[in-house]
Amino acid sequence: MLQPNPFIITADYYGPDYFCDRKAETEVLESNLANGCNTVLISSRRMGKSGLIAHVFNRFFVHSNFRTFSIDLFPTSSLAEMILLLAKEITGLLKSKGEKMMDSFLTIVKSLRPGFKLDPVTGQLVFDISLGEIVRPVDSLKEIFQYLESSEIPCIVAMDEFQQIADYPETHVMELLRTHVQKCKHTWFVFAGSNRRMMEKLFHNPSEPFYMSCSPLYLDAISYDHYLAFAQRHFEKAGKNLQKEGFKYVYDMFDGHTWYVQRLMNELFAWTRPGEMSDKTMAENALSFVIKTYARTFQEQMSAYPEAQKQLLIAIAKEGKAEQVTSVAFCKRHSMKSPSTVQSALRVLHEKGTITKEKTVYSITNRLFGMWLTMEY
């Protein structure tokens, strides 16, 4: 039988065997949930926030004591869309628990009743609401919270890409949510986000509704030793060998950034036949191959940028970690027109998430894109 590649590169969670380390973070999150402390989980993109949430939700302590719900707010742009996701997530779980649970949702969440329909084939009650049927989202939010609090088993709600709410056209959604969250007596929350600037503003700024309301948990790279042990264990299990230098090359190249390490190890695992050894040369070749795989996408992406943004991307990629990008020296070094040109290009690229800012340092968010830029220009 074909053995699945143990280095998962999709967002799905395949169980603890395929999940590397994060012991300390798991303990913190689990303890927060056990003690009724809401958590704000922050990391750069693709570091493993969603994975950690899924891992903790899968733990015996959590799934035997709580009902867990997860929504990703990234594709939402209004309170109604958020309600749609939340209601579907909740009713999806209720469906598996039977009619009685559905009935109590129907009784409490009155504003979403139009979403309950009788399946003409089975005659069973199904929840199939459309966005247009959510006409009183503020009431729906209140009722959903009432429902969660009425559950005899405490609930946990994870909201991924939470900072998205700040862009909703309705005013006061944050205040509204904060009021409901604050009133909860046995429903706990995990708010996750990758836009560090926004997340920190929302949770650490005294003028924001969620100020100091959650315990912060930052995700950094998994340590080299833990990752090496994890990778070697999976190679060995398949009768393959992973040379330390090969892994180190990959880990160092991406500073241990989870998705990129997973992507390269997935490739290396596929390239290595049982009985063979994956070494540094193979790792170098795998990296070139992976970058080439995305080259077409990167080319198209580049052709769509206006000249100033293109130049700035190349400049930041060449510096790797770029500082003082609006200085005259930076402009001169990279033949850019003026600090003001850099400033406006910087703002757009940062807003789009193409570049990341950590304190005063800028880098290309997609590390493979950054590498491709340095090779190509």
Ligand X SMILES: Nc1ncnc2c1ncn2[C@@H]1O[C@H](COP(=O)(O)OP(=O)(O)OP(=O)(O)O)[C@@H](O)[C@H]1O
Stretch that binds ligand X, among 209-217, 256-264, 294-302, 322-330 (CB under 6 A): 256-264
| Least separation in angstroms between CB 305 and ligand X | 22
Please give the order of strands across the beta sheet that includes 155-160: 67-72, 155-160, 187-193, 39-42, 215-218
Lay out the site mask for Mg ion across 36-75 (x = CB under 5 A, - = otherwise): -------------xx-------------------------
Three-state DSSP class for residue 42: strand
Give residue for tokens 């990752």.
Answer: 227
Cβ of residue 66: shortest distance to ligand X, in angstroms? 20
Stretch that binds ligand X, among 13-21, 96-104, 317-325, 345-353 (CB under 6 A): 13-21
259 counts as binding ligand X under rule CB under 6 A: yes
Residues 6+ positions from 208 with CB-CB distance below 8 Å: 174, 201, 202
* Residue 265 CB, nearest approach to ligand X (Å): 9
Q: Which stretch binds ligand X (CB under 6 A): 235-243, 254-262, 270-278, 347-355?
A: 254-262
**145 vs 254, which CB is nearer to ligand X?**
254
Of 96-104, 257-265, 276-284, 300-308, the window that binds ligand X (rule: CB under 6 A) is 257-265
Residue 51 binds to ligand X (criterion: CB under 6 A): yes
d(CA 357, CA 347): 11
Q: Report the candidate in 366, 375, 374 with the shortest Cα–Cα distance to residue 263.
A: 366
Residue of 43, 195, 311, 354 that binds ligand X (CB under 6 A): 43
User: 3-state DSSP call for residue 194?
Assistant: coil
CB of 290 to Mg ion, least distance (A): 21
Q: Is 67 in the site for ligand X (CB under 6 A)?
A: no
Judged by CB under 6 A, the number of residues near ligand X is: 21
Distance CA 296, CA 290 (A): 12
Helix axes 137-150, 173-183, angle to 10 degrees: 20
The interface partner of residue 229, options being Mg ion, ligand X, none and the CB cut-off 5 to 8 Å by kind, is: none
194 binds ligand X (CB under 6 A): yes
Binding mask 197-226 for ligand X (x = CB under 6 A): -------------------------x----
Q: Is 215 exposed, middle or buried (0-12, 13-18, 19+ CB in 10 A)?
A: middle
Sequence-separated (6 or more) residues with CB below 8 Å from residue 137: 78, 79, 80, 82, 83, 170
Contacting ligand X (CB under 6 A), which of 26, 45, 201, 215?
45
47 binds ligand X (CB under 6 A): yes
| Closest of 362, 352, 359 to residue 314, by C-alpha | 362
Of 32, 38, 39, 50, the one binding ligand X (CB under 6 A) is: 50
Tokens for 231, please give them. 């990778």
Q: Do 209 and 171 touch, CB atoms closer than 8 A?
A: no
Q: Which is nearer to Mg ion, 71 or 109 (CB)?
A: 71
Strand stretches in the chain, DSSP E: 39-42, 67-72, 116-118, 125-127, 155-160, 187-193, 215-218, 241-242, 277-278, 355-358, 361-364
Q: Which residues bind ligand X (CB under 6 A)?
A: 8-11, 19-22, 43, 45-51, 194, 222, 258-259, 262
Q: Which residues bind Mg ion (CB under 5 A)?
A: 49-50
